[in-house]
Amino acid sequence: MDSVDHSVLSALQSWQSEAIGCWLATVVSTFGSSPRPPGAMLAIRADGVMVGSVSGGCIEDDLADRARHGRLPEARAEILTYGVTREEAMRFGLPCGGTLQIVVEPVKDFAWVGQLLACIDRQELVARHLTFDPLAVTLTGATRDSVLTYDKSSLTTPHGPRWRLLIIGAGQTSFYLARMAQALDYEVIICEPREEYRLAWDVPDTRLMTEMPDDAVLALPVDGRTAIIALTHDPKLDDMALLEALKSPAFYVGALGSLRNNLKRRERLALFDLGADEIARLHGPVGLDIGSRTPPEIAVSILAHLIQVRNVKFRIDPTLAMTPQQETTP
């Protein structure tokens, strides 16, 4: 799931106890250039507070103004179209004469929000079906090939699961990598069997596992939206993780170390039950070669490579990130 959109659902969940109107805006179609794709979401409150993005510009301002002045729908979902004329496209910052259609729905029943977030946290695929009039939301199981569907009376959007990053080792580079990954809305999991490193770990909102690395990989379980990075500098620990990670459906598996050390690592891995194709999946040295030396620079190079791999692999075919065992019915 898109990191911004997960924040939108979390905001809606946090607003449910407040006596103030809330709306969810979802991009359903674009024509020409558009900063946000179909499925992008924005949560809006009646006081103009917003979380998320549907255009990255003036459309958000217009929606906030509509919310503050009571010009958003109250009982049913409605379709708003921006950029029909050249002048309007320029006014709302839509490049190249782009057109954007957005479904805006009042959020009256918040139960589905919590249910959807729970499914996403369990790494499940879910379809949210919205009926415009009468206003109703239902959740059903989705499949790997589920896509956004929309007509003038209903909208169905697929959601989940979140991207996850399993870091082996709780050292200094892991500290920077974890914090930067959280900014990209990865769920960050740290595997650290060494007590002296665990006691020094202080990155909030991360999950700390004490199992040995191979057991941690097997315990998750790993799926196509998981990246695994080995950063302990201890071949015994790093190799244990890699032996299981390279057999898993993780979209990215990497290990810290020099080119020479990683060549030796590949030789060691070949002595176990890994095939040449599995070993070839290893990104080592991990990250993009940007001349990074310090722990924060190394973290930047790793995350830059994760972004590159995700964009190249999953924008070509988003279903590659979904594994069959994730298909479920809430």
288-320 residue pLDDT tens: 999 999 999 999 999 999 999 988 876 544 444
At residue 46, the pLDDT reads 96
Instruction: Place 275 in a pLDDT band, splitting at 50, 70 and 90.
Output: very high
CB 38 within 8 A of CB 48: no
Is 68 in a helix, a strand, or coil?
helix
Mean pLDDT on 23-29: 94
The reported pTM is: 0.69
| Token representation of residue 13 | 């969940």
At residue 36, the pLDDT reads 73
Q: Which residues touch 188 (CB under 8 Å, ≥6 apart)? A: 164, 165, 167, 178, 181, 182, 203, 205, 206, 207
**206-225 pLDDT tens trace:** 999 999 999 999 998 898 88
Mean pLDDT on 232-245: 95
At residue 91, the pLDDT reads 59
Higher pLDDT, 123 or 44: 44
Q: Which of 279, 302, 272, 280 is CA-nearest to residue 289?
A: 302
Instruction: Place 173 in a pLDDT band, splitting at 50, 70 and 90.
Output: very high
| Token representation of residue 156 | 């169905």
Q: Which residues touch 197 (CB under 8 Å, ≥6 apart)? A: 169, 170, 171
Instruction: Place 6 in a pLDDT band, splitting at 50, 70 and 90.
Output: confident
At residue 111, the pLDDT reads 95
| Token representation of residue 309 | 């791999």
Average pLDDT across the chain, whole number: 87
Mean pLDDT on 245-274: 95
Q: Which of 54, 44, 46 is CA-nearest to residue 82?
A: 54
Mean pLDDT on 120-145: 89
Higher pLDDT, 328 or 235: 235
Q: Is the peptide bond before 221 cis (omega within 30 degrees of 0)?
A: yes
Mean pLDDT on 250-279: 94
Reply yes or no on whether the pLDDT at 3 is more than 80.
Answer: no
Instruction: Place 324 in a pLDDT band, splitting at 50, 70 and 90.
Output: very low
How far apart (Å, rounded) are the C-alpha atoms in residues 161 and 6? 10
Mean pLDDT on 89-99: 59
Name the percent of the chain lying above pLDDT 90. Answer: 68
Reply yes or no on whether the pLDDT at 329 is more than 50.
Answer: no
- Domains of the chain: which residue ranges? 3-159, 164-318
3-state class percentages of the chain: helix first, strand second, coil last, to nearest 5:
35, 25, 40
What sign for the dihedral angle of Cα 119, 125, 130, 136?
A: negative
What does the longest C-alpha to C-alpha distance in the chain come to? 69
| Token representation of residue 84 | 């029909």
Instruction: Place 247 in a pLDDT band, splitting at 50, 70 and 90.
Output: very high
Burial of 58 (0-12, 13-18, 19+ CB in 10 A): middle
CATH topology of domain 164-318: Rossmann fold (3.40.50)
Cα dihedral 235/236/239/240 (nearest 10): -160
Tell me which of 29-38, 136-145, 265-274 is least confident.
29-38
Reply yes or no on whether the pLDDT at 48 is more than 60.
Answer: yes
Instruction: Place 85 in a pLDDT band, splitting at 50, 70 and 90.
Output: low
Higher pLDDT, 33 or 25: 25
**110-123 pLDDT tens trace:** 999 999 999 988 87
DSSP category for residue 327 = B
Higher pLDDT, 195 or 162: 195
